[in-house]
Structures are given as structure tokens and as C-alpha cells.
């Protein structure tokens, strides 16, 4: 895959635009139209392969959003979708057939885990879940009919970090399509394509847009795969609205500066929580206590804005803490400029079985924070007040996960 011609900060603002001086709008136009006029039927035939035929097939505003994503990720091409799950499901339905097999890590966003466990078997596609950081298991799970290695890093909500160099090499050695959800990492903190990943996914709803005002998904990667996925997107109709694409473009312009502040604030919050007596455990890649700290520091430039912690107490205590926060808004989703708090067993992983959650290590004591770009001192004060709702320290064994 090609590397980005420009640094991420520039690519986020300027995309693939040229720097030639010309008369035109500084802000890109919104082609808020479902269809495009032609002068005759010969032209109608010619434009069917362009982005000026019918918006379900393409649209100039959507094209600009896709070019910006590809520039950020340093990939051949990209596609945008109506949602993150739309990007993931459309991609997998494009590339796999009945009788195919996927090797997937166990730590996944709940919606993806449900799609793999409940929906793909209806189509005759099977998925084997393996321990996220046990790479020997990845290899042993590969079968003659395995077509894809599906990963997520950092993971939701436990923030495990996958060794991208090692996993991309496994996929290449066995002729598998390698696909990674990089939503938590962002194109600012990590670049999976540089390690050899074929496809990089994002819920663009999160950090890419950054303002909690649109829903979208992104697939970026090899041109041959993107072309195949694009044909399926036309058929399924999972396209993005032009105005939403404009908002995505606008959001990405500030991606680099936002992520830098998310990183800084989240590390401070994680360090505070790690010292707090009413917190059993903190999950954050840039804490030295994190089991994949060395890998995270090697392949990420920042630890992301996500922090998950486990209260020293019960599930009820975790709920009470989340409800006691004022500056952290109790809401699902993540990645916006405002700080959010949620309980994973009630939100991101509510749609999967308790048994599968247990295997993932997702427990009732977990509180997930999306640390925004407000004053970090105010955020810490909010957390300190909220943690006071837990009574005296509860005596409980400290669990450990690798």
C-alpha cells in the first residue's frame, strides 16, 4: 500500500487537494442531490462509472471525504458508509461466501461479535474466536477455508493492544485478508496499513467526525478490495448522505489537534484513576501497568482518548459512579469533543451473551470513559466527586488479564 504523501496533520485538513492557486471556495461544496442531469443518453452511459450519476453510486462530496480518509491512512482508496457497522458488514459480505471461515479475536465491539456469532452462520460463514494477544491461537485456528483475519486495536472496552506487525505477517503468510477496526486508535495515533493490513475500518461517527453530530463508517485499503466492496455498497444501498459527508470532511480537519488533546487528557485521567483507592483496575495503553504497554508505545503515537476502569465494588457501584458524574455525560458512543461515560455491559456489549462477555473480560464493574477535550483538571474533579458515592473500600481480589 502506498504511504501518505503528506503528514497526517496536513492530510486531515487538505486531503488530496492540490495547492495550485485558483478561484474557488475554500470550503468544499455540498452536492446535496440524489441525481445528476445529462445532455443526452450517450453522456448518461458514460457517467455511470463516475460520481456524477446517482448518489447511491457516488457523489463529489462523498468522493472528497473518501480521498481524505485514504490520505490519512496512507492507503490506495477508501469508502464511506452510513454507519460503522454498515462499513463492516458490507465489507465482509463483499469478500466472503458461503463455506468461508473467519478467524477473529475475542475482544470485539459487541455489534461485530453478534454479527459474527448470530448472523454470519445463517449465510454459511463461520467465525472462530481466539484470544486477542495469543498469536499461536490465531495460527492454529486457520483452516483451509479461512479467508480473513479480523482484529480490533485498541479493543473496546478493555483497551488491549494487538501486535499489528505480527498479525499482519500471519495473515500474509497464510494468504488471508487482514482487516482491523482502528476506531479507538485513529489515523493520528496509528497506521495499520504501514504494517501490511489490507483493510482499515473506522466508525467515523467517533473520532473522525468528532462532534457527535453524524453517523458514518469508513473502509480504507487496497484498491482491488475497495472496488469490490464499492460494488456491494451500490447494491445494498449503504451509502452516506452528501451533507453527512460534508460534516465528516469538516470534522477531519481538526482531527490531529483534537486527538492530541484527547491523548493528553486521557493519560492524566488514567494516572489519576490508577492512584485512587476506590478503583480496582485501569485499562489504558500508555500506562506502564498495561500488559501491552511496550507494544503500544512502539506502534502508537498516543494512547487514545478512551479509558476504562473497574470500580472497587459491585456493578451497582459502577452504575452509581457513572450517574454521579456531571461533566462526563452519561451516554453511549465516544470520540467527540465532549466527555462521555457508559457502562459497557449496558451499552456497547449489551447485545451479546453474558457468557461471551465473561470470556472477553467485560464485567459489571467496568466504567468506560470517552475523555473529551475539556479542562483535564475539571474532568478529574468530576471523577473524584463521583467516586465518593462508593462507601468504604470493599475487600476484593485484584484480577489480572494479559
Local structure of residue 15 (DSSP, 8 states)? T
Low-confidence spans in the chain with pLDDT less than 70:
1-5, 16-22, 392-402
C-alpha 283/C-alpha 108 separation (Å) is 15
pLDDT at residue number 96: 98
Helix axis angle for 223-236 and 84-95, nearest 10°, is 110
Neighbours of 129 (CB within 10 A): 21
- Determine the distance from the C-alpha atom of residue 121 to the mean position of all C-alpha atoms in its chain, rounded to a whole number: 24
Q: Tell me whether the omega of the peptide bond preceding residue 154 falls within 30 degrees of 0, making it cis.
A: yes
Q: Domain 255-387 falls in which CATH fold?
A: 3.90.1150
Sketch the domain layout of the chain as residue ranges. Answer: 8-253, 255-387
Neighbours of 377 (CB within 10 A): 10
Contact status, residue 342 vs residue 332, Cβ threshold 8 Å? yes
C-alpha 125/C-alpha 119 separation (Å) is 9
Read off the pLDDT of residues 317-366 as tens digits, 9 standing for 90 and up. Answer: 999 999 999 999 999 999 999 999 999 999 888 888 888 888 888 899 99
- Determine the distance from the C-alpha atom of residue 10 to the mean position of all C-alpha atoms in its chain, rounded to a whole number: 21
* Side-chain half-sphere exposure of 402, counting CA atoms within 13 A: 4
pLDDT at residue number 179: 98
C-alpha 318/C-alpha 6 separation (Å) is 44
C-alpha 48/C-alpha 58 separation (Å) is 9
pLDDT at residue number 360: 82
Q: The C-alpha cell of 313 is what?
A: 465494588
> Which stretches of 322-389 are assigned E, i.e. beta strand?
329-330, 340-342, 366-370
pLDDT at residue number 400: 40
User: How much is the pTM?
Assistant: 0.92
What residues act catalytically? Answer: 56, 109, 181, 206
Pairing of strands 329-330, 146-152: unpaired
- Provide DSSP, 290-319: STTHHHHHHH-SS--SEEEEEESS-HHHHH
Contact status, residue 299 vs residue 190, Cβ threshold 8 Å? yes
End-to-end CA distance of the chain: 32
Residues 8-253, CATH architecture? 3-Layer(aba) Sandwich (3.40)
C-alpha 119/C-alpha 113 separation (Å) is 10
pLDDT at residue number 9: 82
pLDDT at residue number 3: 47
Q: HEC string of 319-335?
A: HHHHHHCCCCEECCCCC
pLDDT at residue number 17: 62
pLDDT at residue number 113: 93
Amino acid at each position: 500500500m502506498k504511504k501518505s504523501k503528506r503528514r497526517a496533520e496536513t492530510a486531515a485538513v487538505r486531503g488530496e487537494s492540490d495547492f495550485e492557486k485558483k478561484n474557488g471556495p475554500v470550503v468544499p461544496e455540498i452536492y446535496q442531490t440524489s441525481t445528476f442531469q445529462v445532455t443526452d443518453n450517450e453522456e448518461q452511459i458514460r457517467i455511470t462509472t463516475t460520481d456524477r450519476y446517482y448518489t447511491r453510486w457516488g457523489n463529489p462530496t462523498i468522493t472528497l471525504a473518501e480521498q481524505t480518509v485514504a490520505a490519512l491512512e496512507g492507503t490506495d482508496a477508501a469508502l464511506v458508509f452510513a454507519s460503522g457497522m454498515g462499513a463492516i458488514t458490507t465489507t465482509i459480505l463483499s469478500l466472503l461466501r458461503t463455506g468461508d471461515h473467519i478467524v477473529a479475536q475475542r475482544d470485539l465491539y459487541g455489534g461485530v461479535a453478534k454479527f459474527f456469532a448470530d448472523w454470519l452462520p445463517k449465510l454459511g460463514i463461520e467465525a472462530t474466536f481466539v484470544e486477542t494477544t495469543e498469536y499461536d491461537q490465531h495460527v492454529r485456528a486457520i483452516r483451509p477455508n479461512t479467508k480473513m483475519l479480523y482484529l480490533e486495536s485498541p479493543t473496546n472496552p478493555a483497551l488491549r493492544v494487538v501486535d499489528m506487525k505480527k498479525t499482519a505477517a500471519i495473515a500474509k503468510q497464510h494468504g488471508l485478508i487482514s482487516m482491523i477496526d482502528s476506531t479507538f486508535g485513529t489515523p493520528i495515533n496509528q497506521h495499520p496499513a504501514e504494517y501490511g493490513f489490507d483493510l482499515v475500518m473506522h466508525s467515523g461517527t467517533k473520532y473522525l467526525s468528532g462532534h457527535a453530530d453524524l453517523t458514518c463508517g469508513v473502509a480504507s485499503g487496497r484498491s482491488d478490495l475497495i472496488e469490490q466492496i464499492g460494488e456491494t455498497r451500490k447494491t445494498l444501498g449503504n451509502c452516506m448522505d452528501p451533507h453527512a459527508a460534508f460534516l465528516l470532511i469538516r470534522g477531519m480537519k481538526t482531527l490531529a489537534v483534537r486527538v492530541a488533546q484527547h491523548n493528553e487528557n486521557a493519560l492524566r485521567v488514567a494516572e489519576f484513576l490508577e492512584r485512587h483507592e476506590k478503583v480496582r483496575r485501569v485499562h489504558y495503553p500508555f500506562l506502564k501497568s498495561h500488559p501491552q504497554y511496550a507494544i503500544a508505545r512502539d506502534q502508537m503515537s498516543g494512547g487514545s482518548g478512551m479509558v476504562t476502569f473497574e470500580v472497587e465494588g459491585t456493578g451497582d457501584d459502577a452504575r452509581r459512579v457513572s450517574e454521579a458524574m456531571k461533566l462526563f455525560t452519561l451516554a453511549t458512543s465516544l470520540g467527540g469533543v465532549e466527555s462521555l461515560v457508559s457502562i459497557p455491559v449496558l451499552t456497547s456489549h449489551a447485545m451479546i451473551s453474558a457468557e461471551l462477555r465473561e470470556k472477553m473480560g467485560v464485567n459489571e464493574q467496568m466504567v468506560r470513559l470517552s475523555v473529551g477535550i475539556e479542562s483535564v483538571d475539571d474532568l478529574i474533579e468530576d471523577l473524584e466527586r463521583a467516586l465518593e458515592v462508593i462507601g468504604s473500600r470493599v475487600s476484593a481480589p485484584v484480577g489480572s488479564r494479559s
